[in-house]
Structures are given as C-alpha cells and as structure tokens.
C-alpha cells in the first residue's frame, strides 16, 4: 500500500498539531536529567517519538516542523538524549514532542514509565524500512506493551520510514510484513486489544505528513453531535440522556464529516415538551490556516442554524431558564388514544397520542421545531408545505410525573397527506414517520401506526392507506402491524391461506383495514409462511412455488414484449435493443429474490411470536 493511500488514516485524540519549534537541545544522554517531571508544568499534550538509532526520527521532526531541506538532514547527528520540543504557535496549537534516543533502556531505574507514558496522548514509533527491522519490531513490542500497561488510552502510530528508496511492490510487502509481525507478537502476549496504525513515510515527500496531520482535524459528524430532550437541569450533565443522529449527510455532506477541529462536541438540546432549542459547540483545537496552506475549519454552527427556525438559543443558562416554561405545556390537538407499558410496576410509563392540523393554536411554530429531527433520522427528508390544508399530524407524548403533577415529553410523530382518488374517494398517504431514539423499542411505532389506521377505518370515503417511499425499518413495522390485524380477518384463516391468494382477501383487507391489494398480497405471503409446516416437503414446496409465481410475473411480461419486438425488428436491431436473460439466469434470480423475501418474512414472524 502506498503512503498516499495511508493518508486516509489519522491520529486519534491526544495528537496536537503545530509548525515551528524552539531550538533542539542536543547533548550527551543523561536519563536522570531528561526525565524531569516538571518539564511540562502547563500539562500540554505530549507526543513521544521513539525508534532505533538512525531510524530517522529527528529527520522527520526537522523536515515537518522546522522546514529543513531533506538533504540537510543527512548531516544530523544521532539523538543521544531526550529532546523536548515545545510546539506553540497559537492559542489553539500547543503541545510537546519528546524525541527519545534509540538506546533508551526501559529497565533503567532512571526511566519512570508512569511519568513518561502516563501523560502521553500518542506514541510514534519509527522503523527504517530499508534496514533489517527485526530488532526494531522487538523494540516496538517492548515499547508498546510497557506503555499500554501504564496508559491504555495512548494511541500508537508506526511510521514505516524511508520508503522513498523502495519499489512499490517492496513498500507493500514491507508494510504487510511489519503489520502482521507486530500484531501477531502483541496477540501472543495477550495484548490483542492494542490498536496500531501504520503509515508509509518519507521526508522526500513530507506533504504526506501534513496531510496525515490534517486528518486529525476531520471529525465524524455523527459522533460529534449530542442530542438531548431535557426535562430537568440535571439531564444536561447526564450521559444517559444523550442520543446520537443516525445520519448527518443532509447537513454535513455525504461523507458525514466535519473538518477543522479536534475533540469536537456539538450540542443540540431541546426542552422535552415545548422543544425550545439550544445549539452550542466545544473543541480542543482548531486548524490554523497559516500553517496548512489556507485550510479553513467548517462553519458548523452556520450549517445547523440554517435548518433551525428562529428563536434557538446559544446561551446554555438561557436554555436552562426556559425549562420553567415546561410546566404549562400541553400537547396540541385532540387526544385519540392512551398507551401504557410495564403496568403495575415501578417502571410503569404512560403515553398519549394526539392528532391535529396546522390550524391548531401554536402548532405551526411547534412543528417547525419538531420537523428538524427528520434531517438526522429520515433519509432524503424535506420540510413539508404546511399551508396545504390536506396535511394531518399525529403526535406521541410521554406523560410523566414531575413536582407533584405531570409534564409531557415528545416521543415521535407522523404526517399524513389526504390525496384524491378518482372518482370520489380519498387516499391518505403516510409521508413522515419518526419515533425518537430514547423511545424506540417500546411499542410506540406500532401504536402510532394503529392510531392512524383507526382514524380512517370507519370513513367510507377512504379508499385505502398508502405509504410514501417507506424505509426498510418502516416497511418491517408496517408488515408487523398489518399481519397482526389481518390475522383477525376470516379471509386470512389458516384454512383459506392454504387455498391461495384470492379476491376475497383483497376485498376484506381493503374494506376493513384500508390495506391496498399489493400490501394485502404481501401479508398473505407472510401469514401463509407462518401457517406452512416447513418440515413437510410438499407443503413447503407449494408455498415457495406460490411466491415464485408472483416473482416471475415481470419475466413473463419481458418474454411477451420480446415476442412483439421480434415481429417489428430485424435480428441486429433486436440485439441492440434488448438484453434478454437465459432461463438459468431467471431461475437463479428468482431463487435469490425468494430467499431475500423469506428472510424478511422470518423476521416479521419472530416479532409476531414475541408480541403474543
């Protein structure tokens, strides 16, 4: 692997970056004086630079931080004492690099492992790839095991150095061999939890160093974001109330990353009921454009605030003060249903489900805050045009005890649009559906979907209920709920399921449950699979053939279209127009499709069994 590819790796927390250093302090090795614990009185982050003698440690430091010409490093003398470098060119970029001589002895009584490794953020070990690196690997193993025992949080970076003199094949082989030997030795000694990162490096292309350093300023935006639904001030300091986004590409791009910061935390907090919003960010270091050719940190706050409605807070004290307004909050709209879990126990919880329209007093501004969650949990999410009066809103709240009374916390919501269905019917379409992470796996999704269904079941003007671009997760929820409901219909009895899919099932599912024909067929297949004795070869085969006949319909249409084209086109035109599949390819494709479906159906049936 080339060092250009290795540039995608990066150092972890504790590796701070700068440019210019103070003068070196070369001199005879004196371990006792070098290990003065007071040499870092301000507690700056520390990076240890280690490796065998003449491995190139000092050359790396001179080229990267002193801008020394690579050719000038040929005249550098070997390091014979610990050299401590202060990197301090701005208020953000301050740290120390300790360059150790190759002959340092960990067993020397003057070597204080606790002091050296205990305050270290990263350890860089340099191996000369042009030399016999067996001794270097032994020293690497000794160094890593000693350091890890003292500080398990230390990051270990291995520079496979001087690769400019190697062929591409030799570089790849050297990295593979060093990587395997180093990790195998650690595993043999029981240090399999230690993580080593490897880099192919050369001072003759030291731009790679800057790129590797810049990698430390790239943050996973999903990890950087902390969400909270705050009920009381203590929730702000509690890790238990924090939850993460499932995605962030709709804010920070498809790579879901933020550039320009180290140890970044972005806090997006909402009061649990009213959804008053706080946005803040903290970081340990920010990239300096002067040192990295004009590289500028991303505008994190600007990217998020562009999606927030006016009124959000950036002062945490103001946000905490706004919690006092939660006591007077009541859910908007009409109460449709209540739902409880863990009844009769100390963990009993109560939920209420409401419906409303945009005309509900105060709901327009409330919805503006609520819909911002979609960007982090629903792919390809977009904000709806609430001025269209055909939108309906359904909300779930937890009703929880507080100060001798009750308060409400939002749990999730759904939107439904009432489409026209020719000639005089209405077809509701579920557009957005979200249960927030702290309330998932409590049965709230099923309850919300059933409440939506019940809203329309007795309305003869409703044709059926559809879903707009359902996610896999919602499809599984819908299958589960529809299967539960269809099992109660006479046309879906076990006896009739074995007789095959029929018009009676379509009619009853649409009339009683507002389920369309396509979904009714899918539920039939799920319930027939449940009713099939898989140990009975004939019964199981009959089920598979029944499903595959449906799956084969597109191929039958393809064959019909092919015959029509044969009459209209000459053979050459036909070949350039169509790419038909062989019988064997169709059979293979059908088998794969069937197996995928069966696996999906098994998951639904497992959930049905657990719900009994």
The reported pLDDT for the residue numbered 107 is 67
Question: Do both 165 and 76 map to the same domain?
Answer: yes
The reported pLDDT for the residue numbered 334 is 97
Which tokens is 429 given?
Answer: 């379409």
Nearest-angstrom CA–CA distance, 164 and 59? 14
Question: Do both 460 and 561 map to the same domain?
Answer: no
The reported pLDDT for the residue numbered 10 is 32
pLDDT bracket for residue 3 (50, 70, 90): very low
Q: How many domains does the chain have?
A: 4
Residue 371 lies in domain:
329-469
Assess if residue 360 is contained within a domain: yes
Question: Do both 304 and 339 map to the same domain?
Answer: no
For a pLDDT cut of 90, what percent of the chain falls above it?
66
Assess if residue 273 is contained within a domain: yes
**Residue-wise pLDDT tens digits, 162-189:** 888 788 888 889 999 999 999 999 999 9
Asked if the model's pLDDT at residue 474 lies above 50, the reply is yes
Question: Do both 144 and 265 map to the same domain?
Answer: no
Asked if the model's pLDDT at residue 578 lies above 70, the reply is no
The reported pLDDT for the residue numbered 210 is 61
Question: Do both 223 and 156 map to the same domain?
Answer: no
Decide if 144 contacts 136 (C-beta within 8 A).
Answer: no
- Which CATH number is 461's domain given? 3.40.630.30
Assess if residue 605 is contained within a domain: yes
**Residue-wise pLDDT tens digits, 254-267:** 989 999 999 999 99
- Return the axis-axis angle of helices 583-610 and 537-551, rounded to nearest 10°: 110
Assess if residue 198 is contained within a domain: yes
Assess if residue 56 is contained within a domain: yes
Asked if the model's pLDDT at residue 15 lies above 60, the reply is no
Question: Do both 197 and 218 map to the same domain?
Answer: no
pLDDT bracket for residue 222 (50, 70, 90): very high
Question: Do both 59 and 192 map to the same domain?
Answer: yes
**Residue-wise pLDDT tens digits, 510-531:** 999 999 999 999 999 999 999 9
Answer with the one of 469, 492, 507 that is the final residue of a domain: 469
Answer with the one of 206, 236, 253 that is the final residue of a domain: 206
Question: Do both 316 and 335 map to the same domain?
Answer: no
Assess if residue 32 is contained within a domain: no
Question: Do both 551 and 606 map to the same domain?
Answer: yes
The residues that are catalytic are: 468
Scored b (16 or more CB within 10 A) or e, 376-406 reads bbbeebeebebeeeebbbbbbbbbeeeeeee
Nearest-angstrom CA–CA distance, 599 and 596? 5
Burial class (CB in 10 A: 0-12, 13-18, 19+), 576: exposed
Length of the chain equals: 612
Question: Do both 257 and 337 map to the same domain?
Answer: no
Assess if residue 94 is contained within a domain: yes
Of 28-32, 95-99, 278-282, the least confident: 28-32
Asked if the model's pLDDT at residue 30 lies above 50, the reply is no
- What mean pLDDT value characterizes the chain? 87
- Which CATH number is 295's domain given? 3.90.360.10
Average pLDDT in the 462-468 region? 96
**Residue-wise pLDDT tens digits, 115-158:** 889 888 899 999 999 888 999 999 999 999 999 999 999 999 99
Decide if 218 contacts 238 (C-beta within 8 A).
Answer: no
The reported pLDDT for the residue numbered 206 is 52
- Which CATH number is 543's domain given? 1.10.10.390
Specify the higher pLDDT residue, 13 or 261.
261
Say which residues have a Cβ less than 8 Å from residue 611's Cβ, sequence separation at least 6: 480, 484
Decide if 86 contacts 19 (C-beta within 8 A).
Answer: no
Asked if the model's pLDDT at residue 354 lies above 80, the reply is yes
Say which residues have a Cβ less than 8 Å from residue 541's Cβ, sequence separation at least 6: none
For a pLDDT cut of 70, what percent of the chain falls above it?
88
97 by DSSP, 3-state: which?
strand
Assess if residue 6 is contained within a domain: no
Of 163-167, 198-202, 491-495, 606-610, the least confident: 163-167
Question: Do both 318 and 340 map to the same domain?
Answer: no
Q: How many CB atoms lie within 10 A of CB 542?
A: 14
Question: Do both 69 and 200 map to the same domain?
Answer: yes
The H or E element containing residue 405 is strand 405-421
**Residue-wise pLDDT tens digits, 390-430:** 999 999 999 999 999 999 999 999 999 999 999 999 999 99
Answer with the one of 469, 486, 505 that is the final residue of a domain: 469
- Which CATH number is 146's domain given? 3.40.50.300
């Amino acid at each position: 692997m080339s060092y250009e590819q290795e540039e995608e790796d990066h150092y972890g927390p504790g590796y701070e970056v700068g440019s210019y250093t103070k003068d070196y302090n070369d001199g005879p090795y004196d371990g006792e004086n070098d290990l003065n614990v007071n040499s870092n009185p301000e507690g700056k982050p520390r990076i240890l630079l280690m490796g065998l003698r003449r491995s190139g440690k000092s050359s790396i430091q001179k080229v990267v931080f002193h801008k020394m010409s690579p050719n000038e490093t040929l005249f550098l003398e070997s390091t014979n004492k610990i050299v401590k470098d202060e990197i301090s060119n701005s208020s953000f970029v301050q740290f120390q690099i300790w360059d150790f001589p190759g002959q340092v002895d960990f067993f020397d009584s003057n070597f204080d492992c606790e002091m050296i490794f205990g305050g270290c953020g990263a350890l860089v070990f340099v191996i000369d790839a042009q030399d016999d690196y067996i001794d270097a690997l032994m020293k690497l193993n000794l160094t890593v095991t000693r350091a890890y025992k003292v500080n398990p949080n230390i990051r270990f970076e291995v520079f496979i150095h001087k690769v400019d003199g190697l062929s591409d094949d030799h570089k790849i082989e050297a990295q593979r061999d060093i990587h395997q030997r180093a990790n195998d030795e650690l595993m043999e000694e029981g240090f399999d939890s230690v993580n080593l990162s490897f880099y192919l490096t050369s001072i003759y292309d030291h731009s790679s160093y800057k790129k590797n350093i810049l990698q430390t300023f790239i943050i996973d935006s999903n990890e950087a974001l902390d969400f909270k639904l705050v009920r009381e001030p203590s929730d702000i300091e509690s890790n238990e109330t924090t939850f993460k986004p499932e995605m962030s590409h709709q804010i920070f791009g498809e790579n879901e990353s933020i550039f320009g910061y180290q140890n970044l935390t972005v806090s997006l907090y909402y009061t649990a009921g009213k959804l008053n919003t706080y946005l803040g960010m903290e970081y340990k270091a920010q990239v300096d454009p002067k040192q990295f050719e004009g590289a500028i940190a991303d505008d994190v706050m600007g990217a998020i605030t562009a999606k927030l409605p006016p009124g959000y807070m950036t002062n945490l004290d103001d946000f905490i003060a706004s919690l006092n307004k939660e006591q007077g909050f009541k859910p908007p709209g009409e109460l449709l249903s209540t739902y409880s879990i863990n009844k009769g126990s100390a963990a009993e919880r109560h939920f209420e489900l409401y419906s409303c329209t945009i005309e509900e007093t105060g709901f327009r501004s409330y919805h503006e805050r609520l819909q911002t969650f979609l960007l982090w949990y629903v792919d390809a999410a977009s904000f709806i045009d609430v001025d269209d009066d055909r939108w309906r809103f359904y909300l779930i709240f937890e009703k929880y005890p507080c100060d001798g009374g009750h308060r409400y916390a939002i749990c999730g919501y759904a939107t439904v649009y009432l489409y026209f269905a020719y000639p005089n019917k209405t077809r509701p379409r579920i557009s957005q559906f979200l249960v927030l992470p702290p309330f998932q796996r409590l049965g709230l999704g099923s309850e919300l979907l059933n409440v939506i269904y019940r809203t329309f079941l007795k309305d003869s003007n409703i044709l059926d209920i559809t879903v707009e671009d359902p996610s896999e997760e919602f499809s599984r929820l819908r299958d589960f709920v529809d299967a539960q409901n269809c099992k109660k219909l006479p046309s879906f009895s076990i006896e009739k399921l074995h007789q095959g899919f029929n018009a009676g099932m379509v009619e009853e599912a649409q009339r009683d449950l507002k389920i369309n024909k396509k979904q009714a067929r899918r539920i039939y297949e799920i319930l027939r699979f449940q009713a099939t004795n898989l140990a009975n070869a004939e019964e199981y085969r009959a089920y598979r053939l029944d499903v595959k006949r449906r799956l084969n319909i597109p191929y039958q249409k393809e064959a019909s279209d092919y015959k029509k084209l044969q009459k209209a086109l000459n053979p050459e035109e036909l070949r350039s127009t169509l790419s038909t599949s062989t019988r064997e390819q169709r059979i293979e494709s059908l088998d794969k499709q069937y197996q995928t479906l069966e696996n999906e159906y098994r998951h639904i049936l497992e959930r049905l069994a657990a719900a009994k």
